[in-house]
A and B are shown apart, each in its own frame.
Chain A
Amino acid sequence: MNIRNLKPIFNYFFAITLLLSCNGHEQKEKTITFWSSNASQEILFTAYFADKWNENHSEKLESQPIPEGQSSEEVIMAAVVGRTTPDIYANMWQGLVEMYAKSGVLVPLDTIEGFTDFIMARSGEAVVKEITSADGHIYQIPWKINPFMTIYNEKKIAQLGLDVVPTTYSAYLKAGKDFSKDTDGDGYVDKWIGDTEVKNIWHQRLNNFYPLYLAASNGAPLIKDNKAVFNNEYAVGVFNFLQTIYREGYFAKESNTVGSDKFLAGHTATKWTGAWDVSYLERYKEDDFEYNIAHLPVPDDHRGVVYTYADPKNIVLFNTCKNPALAWEFIKTMIDEAGDLKFLELSGQIPRRQKIKENEVFQVFLRENPKIIPFIDQSNYVYGTDNCEVLIEVLDIISQEYESCVIHNKKTPAKAIADASRAVDILLGNF
């Protein structure tokens, strides 16, 4: 073969190789990489602390929002598989940590000197217990929560002759009966007492069933000692309550679509939501729109404090981090008192810190933002998620039964919960 025939091909491959090797970016030497969520307030928050850190440290920190993807969970999973994880990721849903911990891709943070004492002082013993994994290590830094509560339209509730939104099942159902109406006479209800997503998607149950279950049961777990423990009066009661709501037409059975906010438009009087909604409402509400906040509905015979779902998002260190102690030094600057205050100011979400209301550092903020105070009060009575490796599947099983029983009235609440419990036990037995 004539070697001259190959010359153009060699030239072609050489040119391609040359082009591909030209990066155009100067390779920056950064010591710590940090991914935040892509919420604009959190990007600002992270950038603020990254700049502050970089001014005073030779080991630099590079922060960026999590790359775009279908969901943050998928992006993180792809990064784990490709070993392109950042050193620090802030916005990890607590329910996923156990799976990553068991797979050995997270740094056991309790092995870092001073970590446990810091977290214990900031968040308290109950939180430390909640985030401790099955193997006895701690793989997550409890960072922020958005306790689920009832936000209600004060004028609409006042129209029912009530001063505050009803907080027991029977009173809430009564309000539903009085409020839900066909106002334009077309034969269909167009005003509802509340609204919550009906789609059969596991994470939607964290917005309705799970907070109500925690409220009814004083924060009882779904899974304990690798067994389903939710086949009880509280879970059945929640299903019964919600089934009645949908059967009687007090909530719309329709999935929420883009661009509609039934609560702000006055089509619903209440919504179950987290603290982040306060800044949203403040931004988009009409001047004369007045709202207030109360705890979630509970069974009529409920006594004592009312728990709710915390919606916890935490910070983790991946095992690709070369200097966990240094990364922890940076994180401490974000979650000390000054950091937590800055976070509250920028995002309106609640740091997972105990005694915020009593702490001098937060007083000015609380005075200026009174709507956040009920969420701060509620943050003393919250629960995150069980440390279960297959929690997503557990919630999916509950979601299947939820749809069948609550939305479509195909099963009794007792049967639906019993079926879900049995299916979860089979699932856990497989692992």
Chain B
Amino acid sequence: MQVRPKKKRSILPYLLVSPYMLFFLVFVAFPVLFSFFLTFHKWNIISPMEYSGMDNYTRMFNDRLFWKSLRNTLWFLVIHIPLQIIFALGLAVFLNSKIKFKGLFRSVFFLPVIVSGVVVTIMWQQLYGFNGGVINQLLNSIGLGRVGWLTNPAMSMPSIAIMATWKNVGLYIILFLVGLQAVPEHYYEAAEIDGASSWQKLWYITIPAINPTIFMVIILSTIGGFSLFIEPYVMTGGGPLNSSLSSVLYIYKQAFEFYHMGYAATLGFAFAFIILIIIVIQKKYIEKKY
């Protein structure tokens, strides 16, 4: 009987993955565990930590601004996600059709994605200006009144959502284009033989076929929406009347303006938990359906 030689265990694979493991432990695992530890402490970074038990959690549940920032973020998502899907899908269908200068259009729509968020935000701040803003000047010139895009509490978050949609739409156009190009052409040919209109083809073929992409866009937009920071930080500072105070901006304020590291970590965990719940629900729905 032939005895197979015992396979020697090599440490080489471990050595090869060790740089990433080291990176993961130092920059992911340790910060997460340390942040969780912080949630039970009061700490301003430079003074010794004080154990505070569940104080940070109690404070969070009673904190009006925590709930306000959560509501604001959800409101942002409610406006931003449908806008993102409608515009990205519409433009993707347009770019997927037989048009001239397709490459140029794709580049143009993708351009805002690669421009710095701060630059885009400052540019839109100028556009949204109440007195000297281009949008209000246009509205005024056609006889419509000026809008307090960033000065009216009811308008600040929708204005930010419009800007965020403009900034990110190029990325989602690409995702939808990939989905659209995977739809078999003969589906459309069969529909045409049956006399289907363009609208019917979109509604009964395209949308069901790219449903997984739509849900991926929803998940990515949800995660992206929860990290909303630069736009309200630069444009409104969270105002007016905290109407654009996003969750991440509130964490930032607690951590780096007031140095409440323990409380900021608690808020971070709470928001991460909320995102997790939303993503789990979305994922479950996708898995159930497909």
Q: Is B10 an interface residue (CB 8 A)?
A: yes
Q: Is A396 an interface residue (CB 8 A)?
A: yes
A-B contact pairs, 22 of them (CB 8 A): A1-B9, A1-B11, A1-B12, A9-B15, A77-B46, A99-B44, A99-B46, A100-B46, A102-B47, A186-B140, A187-B145, A200-B240, A253-B148, A254-B129, A254-B131, A254-B150, A255-B237, A257-B129, A258-B126, A403-B240, A404-B241, A408-B153
Q: Which residues in A have their C-beta under 8 angstroms from that of B145?
A: 187
Partner pick for A408 among B140, B237, B241, CB 8 A cutoff: B241
Instruction: Compute how far the CA of A396 lies from the CA of B238 in the bound complex, rounded to whole angstroms.
Output: 13
Contact of A103 with B130 at beta-carbon distance under 8 Å, contacts A403-B240, A410-B241 already known: no
Instruction: Compute how far the CA of A260 lies from the CA of B129 in the bound complex, rounded to whole angstroms.
Output: 11
Q: Is B45 an interface residue (CB 8 A)?
A: yes
Q: Is A284 an interface residue (CB 8 A)?
A: no
Residue ID in chain B nearest A252 by CB atoms: B131
Instruction: Compute how far the CA of A257 lies from the CA of B237 in the bound complex, rounded to whole angstroms.
Output: 13
Instruction: Compute how far the CA of A214 lies from the CA of B279 in the bound complex, rounded to whole angstroms.
Output: 52
Residue contact A6 to B12, C-beta cutoff 8 Å: yes
A69-86 interface with B by 8 A CB criterion? 70, 74, 77, 80-81
**Residues of A that sit less than 8 Å from B by CB:** 1, 5-6, 9, 70, 74, 77, 80-81, 99-100, 102-105, 186-188, 190, 198-202, 252-255, 257-258, 260, 390, 392-393, 396, 400, 403-404, 407-408, 410
Residue contact A199 to B129, C-beta cutoff 8 Å: no
Residue contact A199 to B15, C-beta cutoff 8 Å: no
Per-residue 0/1 for B231-265: is the Cβ within 8 Å of any A Cβ (1 yes, 0 no)?
00000111111100000000000001111000000
Q: Is B151 an interface residue (CB 8 A)?
A: yes
Contact of A253 with B45 at beta-carbon distance under 8 Å, contacts A1-B10, A200-B242, A392-B257 already known: no
Q: Which residues in A have their C-beta under 8 angstroms from that of B148?
A: 253
Instruction: Compute how far the CA of A104 lies from the CA of B46 in the bound complex, rounded to whole angstroms.
Output: 9
Total B residues in contact with A, Cβ cutoff 8 Å: 35
Q: Which residues in A have their C-beta under 8 angstroms from that of B222?
A: none
Contact of A392 with B151 at beta-carbon distance under 8 Å, contacts A1-B10, A257-B129 already known: no
Residue ID in chain B nearest A253 by CB atoms: B151
Query: Which residue, A187, A257, A396, has most C-beta atoms of chain B within 10 A?
Result: A257
**Residues of B that sit less than 8 Å from A by CB:** 8-12, 15, 44-47, 122, 125-126, 129-132, 140, 145-146, 148, 150-151, 153, 236-242, 256-259
Residue ID in chain A nearest B245 by CB atoms: A200
Closest CB of chain B to A255's CB: distance in Å?
Answer: 7
Residue contact B126 to A257, C-beta cutoff 8 Å: yes
Partner pick for B12 among A5, A254, A403, CB 8 A cutoff: A5
Q: Which residues in B have their C-beta under 8 angstroms from that of A258?
A: 122, 125-126
Instruction: Compute how far the CA of A366 lies from the CA of B38 in the bound complex, rounded to whole angstroms.
Output: 55
Residue contact A5 to B10, C-beta cutoff 8 Å: yes
Closest CB of chain A to B192's CB: distance in Å?
Answer: 52
Q: Which residues in B have their C-beta under 8 angstroms from that of A404?
A: 241
Q: Which residues in B have their C-beta under 8 angstroms from that of A188?
A: 131, 140, 146
Residue contact A396 to B258, C-beta cutoff 8 Å: yes
* Closest 5 A/B residue pairs (Cβ): A103-B46, A200-B239, A199-B237, A103-B47, A254-B130
Instruction: Compute how far the CA of A254 lies from the CA of B129 in the bound complex, rounded to whole angstroms.
Output: 8
Instruction: Compute how far the CA of A198 lies from the CA of B156 in the bound complex, rounded to whole angstroms.
Output: 15
Instruction: Compute how far the CA of A80 lies from the CA of B15 in the bound complex, rounded to whole angstroms.
Output: 36
Q: Which residues in B have their C-beta under 8 angstroms from that of A80?
A: 45-46
Query: Which residue, B45, B153, B236, B239, has most C-beta atoms of chain A within 10 A?
Result: B239
Instruction: Compute how far the CA of A99 lies from the CA of B129 in the bound complex, rounded to whole angstroms.
Output: 38
Partner pick for A403 among B10, B126, B131, B239, CB 8 A cutoff: B239
Q: Which residues in A have their C-beta under 8 angstroms from that of B132?
A: 257, 260
Partner pick for A254 among B9, B151, B256, CB 8 A cutoff: B151
Residue contact B258 to A393, C-beta cutoff 8 Å: yes
Residue contact B45 to A81, C-beta cutoff 8 Å: yes
Contact of A407 with B44 at beta-carbon distance under 8 Å, contacts A5-B12, A6-B12 already known: no
Instruction: Compute how far the CA of A142 lies from the CA of B240 in the bound complex, rounded to whole angstroms.
Output: 36
Instruction: Compute how far the CA of A80 lies from the CA of B132 in the bound complex, rounded to whole angstroms.
Output: 43
Residue ID in chain A nearest B11 by CB atoms: A1
Q: Which residues in A have their C-beta under 8 angstroms from that of B9?
A: 1
Q: Which residues in A have their C-beta under 8 angstroms from that of B257?
A: 202, 392, 396
Residue ID in chain B nearest A408 by CB atoms: B241
Q: Which residues in A have their C-beta under 8 angstroms from that of B15?
A: 6, 9
Q: Which residues in B have their C-beta under 8 angstroms from that of A252?
A: 130-131
Residue ID in chain B nearest A393 by CB atoms: B258
Instruction: Compute how far the CA of A90 lies from the CA of B175 in the bound complex, rounded to whole angstroms.
Output: 51
Instruction: Compute how far the CA of A257 lies from the CA of B238 in the bound complex, rounded to whole angstroms.
Output: 16
Closest CB of chain A to B132's CB: distance in Å?
Answer: 7
Residue ID in chain A nearest B148 by CB atoms: A253
Residue ID in chain A nearest B238 by CB atoms: A200
Closest CB of chain B to A179's CB: distance in Å?
Answer: 16
Instruction: Compute how far the CA of A6 lies from the CA of B47 in the bound complex, rounded to whole angstroms.
Output: 46
Instruction: Compute how far the CA of A404 lies from the CA of B64 in the bound complex, rounded to whole angstroms.
Output: 15
Instruction: Compute how far the CA of A390 lies from the CA of B47 in the bound complex, rounded to whole angstroms.
Output: 13
